[in-house]
Amino acid sequence: MGCLLLNSHYNTQANRNINFLTQILTVADPAAVTYPERCDEGADLQTLDSTIPKLRIDSDRLRADFEALRHIGLTHDGGVNRLALSAEDLAARAWFADRIEEAGLRVCDDDAGNLGAVLPSPDPGAKTLLIGSHLDSVPNGGHYDGTIGVLAALECLRTIHDAGLVLPIHLEAINFTDDEGCWMSMMGSRALIGALNAEAFNDVPEDDGQIRAALRLAGIDLDTVEQAARDPEAVLGFLELHVEQSSRLERANVPIGVVTGIVGRRTYQLTFTGSAGHSGTTDMYKRRDALRGAAMFIVRAHDVVREAYGDGIFNCGDIDVEPGSFNIIPSSACIDVEIRHYKPELLAEMETALFKIARECAAVCALEVESKRMLSRPAATMAAGMIQAIESACVTLGLDHLPLVSYAGHTAQMLSLFTHSGMIFVPSVGGIGHHPDEFTHWDDVVNGANVLLQTVLDLAYGGVPGTLT
Ligand SMILES: [Zn+2]
């Protein structure tokens, strides 16, 4: 698989704009350069400073895309089912590829099924700025999660293309495979950053060959999935527009969130083991009740995280009790535990503190306790240069903005391990996410898309502030 040049539009434009590009790449003071507003023959020349801030995405065209895509996987209660690699997901990809072709852009897919639109620079050695998110959904999820990030990214390319601007960078609007983890969490982004190989698919629990069947159906060959890895030297950075999925922006009545970091997440199974016995005849003070130890741990863990780790998250989402009867003392209680924090050192500290509490609770109840780590995803810090560029775009557009930590995982989390990454949030009404009622006012989607566009243009002509020389 690879990039497919669907038209030769840029080859002809390249000749016309080569002088313009030479100026950009060699003149020390970009403000002194005269930029073409359009690339059509005979077009008036204007300065970039007057053209770029006026450029806006086409809200109606973006809305038409959103409405069309809404019907692919629409559920009876208004949600969306586009599980990664399902028939609906594949239909959404085909629809996306059609839109790319229709816009006269390059379709580019890779060996992990990531699918993108490319607006190439005439300079073949230029770096690529990746923008995008995901079109897959959780079961019966919402229509905004991921989708607006991909559609707005495509709309940015179309807007720049239609304006005839030729960028000194390659620009790619990308849909990442299985961001939601139907088969393997962040499969596409992991592959792109070179952190996925065929062996990783051997470790997926409870898989009876379905993953491989689904991958085959989508044309993904595990033997070549490693080839989706990109060269970090060839990438300028990554930007993702996404709905906030919590209510901080709505509460503050601010239209744009500038993400500063994304929480790290660790999950565990903690198993408390005691002794089963007759619930009626065993002395209350002599029993080794595994559930009592687990319950004590859950309450204390909640208290400690709330009191000592204000920005930290603790959750116990499931309990499996054995033997599981009204009249038998539980001999085993296995709990599913999750912790999140955006500061790596505090995430590690929380883990140590919670394990200590687990041992103390086990000791009080005369139990043994064992832990098994199920997942560890590092906290991510967004690049200072990207934060600065997004904030600057908000100022240009006259939009208030708020720095925010993301408590949900996102593509940008994975990409931040690989390149300068930034994230733009738009408000979610009621803070609802992963639910059919997920909703973002259209004006907010448009604002987010315009911030994405403005940030792209600033980065294209100015580089990532503070990170490029
Ligand atoms: Zn998402």
Whether residue 227 sits in one domain with residue 370:
no
The answer, yes or no, to whether residue 281 has pLDDT greater than 90, is: yes
**In angstroms, what is the span from residue 165 Cα to ligand 1's centroid?**
30
The answer, yes or no, to whether residue 11 has pLDDT greater than 50, is: no
* Single residue among 325, 349, 377 that ends a domain in this structure: 377
* Single residue among 319, 342, 377 that ends a domain in this structure: 377
| Number of C-beta neighbours around residue 445 at 10 A | 24
**Structure tokens that stand for 252 in this block:** 């503050």
Q: Which residue, among 452, 468, 448, 396, has the nearest Cα to 30 in the 3D structure?
A: 468
**In angstroms, what is the span from residue 152 Cα to ligand 1's centroid?**
14
How far apart, in whole angstroms, are the C-alpha atoms of residue 357 and residue 351? Answer: 10
**Structure tokens that stand for 211 in this block:** 């993953």
Whether residue 155 sits in one domain with residue 42:
yes
**In angstroms, what is the span from residue 149 Cα to ligand 1's centroid?**
9
Residues with CB in 5 Å of ion ligand 1: 145-146
Whether residue 342 sits in one domain with residue 238:
no
Q: Which domain holds residue 358?
A: 264-377
Q: Confirm whether 469 is domain-assigned.
A: no
Whether residue 320 sits in one domain with residue 399:
no
**In angstroms, what is the span from residue 426 Cα to ligand 1's centroid?**
12
Instruction: Output the pTM of the full model.
Output: 0.82
**In angstroms, what is the span from residue 80 Cα to ligand 1's centroid?**
13
Tell me what the mean pLDDT of segment 447-455 comes to.
98
Q: pLDDT tens digits for 395-431?
A: 999 999 999 999 998 999 999 999 999 999 999 999 9
The answer, yes or no, to whether residue 213 has pLDDT greater than 60, is: yes
Please list, in sequence order, all residues whose beta carbon lies within 8 angstroms of the beta carbon of residue 375, skipping any fewer than 6 positions away: 265, 266, 267
Q: Confirm whether 142 is domain-assigned.
A: yes
**In angstroms, what is the span from residue 349 Cα to ligand 1's centroid?**
28
Whether residue 370 sits in one domain with residue 424:
no
CATH number of domain containing 232: 3.40.630.10
HSE (side-chain half, CA atoms, 13 Å) at 13: 22
Mean pLDDT (the chain) is: 88
**In angstroms, what is the span from residue 190 Cα to ligand 1's centroid?**
15
**In angstroms, what is the span from residue 146 Cα to ligand 1's centroid?**
4
**In angstroms, what is the span from residue 408 Cα to ligand 1's centroid?**
8
Whether residue 276 sits in one domain with residue 251:
no
**In angstroms, what is the span from residue 166 Cα to ligand 1's centroid?**
30
User: With 0-12 CB in 10 A as exposed, 13-18 as middle and 19+ as buried, what is 219?
Assistant: exposed
The neighbouring-strand residues paired with 256 are: 401
| Number of C-beta neighbours around residue 284 at 10 A | 7
pLDDT band at 311 (very low <50, low <70, confident <90, very high): confident
User: Which pLDDT score is estimated for 199?
Assistant: 87
- DSSP assignment of 273-287 equals E----BTTTS-TTT-
Whether residue 318 sits in one domain with residue 171:
no
Q: Confirm whether 408 is domain-assigned.
A: yes
**In angstroms, what is the span from residue 133 Cα to ligand 1's centroid?**
7
**Structure tokens that stand for 198 in this block:** 């065929």
- DSSP assignment of 289-306 equals -HHHHHHHHHHHHHHHHH
The answer, yes or no, to whether residue 351 has pLDDT greater than 60, is: yes
**In angstroms, what is the span from residue 53 Cα to ligand 1's centroid?**
28
Amino acid 40 reads D
**In angstroms, what is the span from residue 178 Cα to ligand 1's centroid?**
10
What φ, ψ does residue 402 adopt, rounded to 5°? -135, 130
Domains in the chain, number: 2
Q: Which residue, among 440, 414, 443, has the nearest Cα to 429 in the 3D structure?
A: 440
User: Which pLDDT score is estimated for 251?
Assistant: 97
Q: Confirm whether 173 is domain-assigned.
A: yes
Label the pairing between strands 128-133 and 235-243.
parallel
Q: Confirm whether 321 is domain-assigned.
A: yes
CATH number of domain containing 321: 3.30.70.360
CB 39 within 8 A of CB 50: no
Amino acid 447 reads N
**In angstroms, what is the span from residue 364 Cα to ligand 1's centroid?**
42
Tell me what the mean pLDDT of segment 268-285 comes to.
96
**In angstroms, what is the span from residue 174 Cα to ligand 1's centroid?**
13
The answer, yes or no, to whether residue 193 has pLDDT greater than 90, is: yes
* Residue spans of beta strands (DSSP E) within 114-195: 115-119, 128-133, 170-175
Q: Confirm whether 217 is domain-assigned.
A: yes
Q: Confirm whether 291 is domain-assigned.
A: yes
**In angstroms, what is the span from residue 51 Cα to ligand 1's centroid?**
32
Whether residue 188 sits in one domain with residue 78:
yes
Label the pairing between strands 401-406 and 256-262.
parallel
Whether residue 39 sits in one domain with residue 126:
yes
With the C-alpha atoms ordered 62, 68, 73, 79, is the resulting torsion angle positive or negative? Answer: positive
* Single residue among 377, 401, 436 that ends a domain in this structure: 377
Q: Confirm whether 7 is domain-assigned.
A: yes
User: Which pLDDT score is estimated for 462?
Assistant: 81
Whether residue 189 sits in one domain with residue 78:
yes
Is 24 or 425 the better-scoring residue by pLDDT? 425
Whether residue 277 sits in one domain with residue 243:
no
Whether residue 165 sits in one domain with residue 35:
yes
pLDDT band at 6 (very low <50, low <70, confident <90, very high): very low
Alpha helices in 71-132 (DSSP H): 87-102
The neighbouring-strand residues paired with 404 are: 259
Tell me what the mean pLDDT of segment 177-199 comes to.
93
How far apart, in whole angstroms, are the C-alpha atoms of residue 367 and residue 125? Answer: 63
The answer, yes or no, to whether residue 332 has pLDDT greater than 50, is: yes
**In angstroms, what is the span from residue 410 Cα to ligand 1's centroid?**
6
DSSP state at residue 465: T
- Counting DSSP H helices and E strands in the chain, the numbers are 13, 16
How far apart, in whole angstroms, are the C-alpha atoms of residue 156 and residue 255? Answer: 19
Q: pLDDT tens digits for 44-99?
A: 434 566 777 789 999 999 999 999 999 999 999 999 999 999 999 999 999 999 99
Q: pLDDT tens digits for 196-205?
A: 988 888 777 6
